[in-house]
């Protein structure tokens, strides 16, 4: 299957409102909703958002999870946000702390342009192809977060994306946009916003809401864009959730989203996903 086919997609732009000016743009494509990666495809970083959810949720499939954080120089997330990401992973991925590793890879050199760079999703993916160091291999599943110094080309009008889940193990955070929004929105908090956007996008990578399969519980919002209908849930798409007020706790997954994760994790799987690809180089291939 070629790249164009893999990435033929619909971009779900979220509810837009002049007072709700930020969001998330989880990208899904037209893969069959029944499709889950086979034994070799699970090593492929070009699969659709949500298709590696089960591999991430079940330690019997992959004993260890490696999360790689890479940033354009100067746009790194705060250490406290990374600490909270670690706690979220420990809580939801069914592994003990020793089975989850977060690595900060060396920074990507910043652009010299005065204006913030605008990134298309293809450019985001090119950067990942060039710089990502950790790929899924036998017993270890890898997730990649990229923190950028610019904005998304999908921004329009007053609507700006803070992050996007754009592959089975790929997430981009528009860190420059996030910092600008926090600076311009009194009472918001950068650490909380970073934690929330990172964990929200991770929620999409874990298959929320109803990505690639029906959860069996009706909790997706009416827009049908893979967000939760509960306005206090981490997987809701409003500015209020994505840019929390200072002094509050980061939003959590609600009971319906937790139930969806539990159902997915306990869903019977017969495929042997924890087997190395026959081509040893396949765990480090690019796109
Ligand atoms: Zn989202
Ligand atoms: Zn929810």
Write down the pLDDT at residue 279: 37
Ligand nearest to the CA of 255: 2
Ligand nearest to the CA of 251: 2
Write down the pLDDT at residue 80: 97
Map residue 146 onto helix, strand or coil.
Answer: strand
Tell me which residues have their CB within 5 A of the ion that is ligand 2: 228, 230, 233, 235, 254, 256-257
Tell me which residues have their CB within 5 A of the ion that is ligand 1: 24, 26
Write down the pLDDT at residue 43: 83
Instruction: For the chain, list residues with pLDDT below 70.
Output: 1-21, 28-39, 212-217, 268-287
Ligand nearest to the CA of 258: 2
| Closest C-alpha to 63, from 282, 278, 274 | 274
Write down the pLDDT at residue 115: 79
Quick: pLDDT tens for 218-261: 899 887 789 999 999 999 999 999 999 999 999 999 999 999 99
Write down the pLDDT at residue 135: 96
CA–centroid distance, 4 to ligand 1, in Å, is: 23
CA dihedral 24, 49, 176, 23 (to 10 degrees): 0
Write down the pLDDT at residue 222: 83
| Structure tokens given for 161 | 């994306």
Domains annotated on the chain, with CATH: 21-266 (3.40.390.10)
Quick: pLDDT tens for 200-213: 999 999 999 988 66
pTM of the model: 0.84
Ligand nearest to the CA of 232: 2
């Amino acid at each position: 299957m070629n790249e164009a086919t893999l990435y033929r997609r619909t971009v779900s732009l979220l509810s837009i409102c002049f007072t709700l000016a930020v969001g998330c743009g989880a990208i899904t494509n037209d893969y069959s909703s029944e499709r889950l990666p086979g034994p070799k495809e699970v090593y492929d970083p070009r699969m659709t958002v949500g298709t590696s959810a089960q591999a991430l949720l079940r330690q019997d499939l992959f004993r260890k999870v490696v999360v790689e954080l890479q940033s354009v120089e100067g746009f790194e997330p705060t250490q406290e946000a990374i600490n909270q990401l670690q706690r979220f992973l420990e809580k939801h991925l069914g592994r003990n702390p020793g089975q989850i590793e977060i690595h900060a890879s060396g920074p990507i050199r910043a652009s010299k342009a005065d204006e913030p760079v605008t990134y298309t999703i293809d450019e985001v993916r090119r950067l990942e192809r060039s710089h990502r160091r950790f790929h899924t291999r036998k017993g270890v599943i890898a997730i990649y977060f990229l923190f950028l110094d610019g904005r998304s080309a999908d921004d329009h009008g007053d609507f700006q994306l803070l992050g996007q889940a754009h592959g089975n193990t790929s997430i981009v955070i528009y860190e420059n946009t996030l910092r600008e929004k926090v600076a311009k929105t009194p009472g918001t908090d950068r650490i909380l916003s970073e934690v929330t956007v990172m964990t929200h996008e991770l929620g999409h990578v874990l298959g929320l809401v109803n990505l690639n399969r029906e959860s069996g519980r009706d909790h997706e919002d009416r827009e049908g864009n893979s967000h939760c209908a509960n306005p206090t849930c981490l997987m809701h798409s409003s500015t209020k959730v994505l840019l929390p007020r200072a002094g509050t706790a980061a939003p959590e997954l609600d009971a319906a989203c937790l139930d969806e994760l539990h159902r997915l994790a306990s869903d019977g799987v017969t495929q042997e996903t924890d087997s190395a690809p026959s081509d040893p180089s396949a765990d480090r291939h690019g796109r």
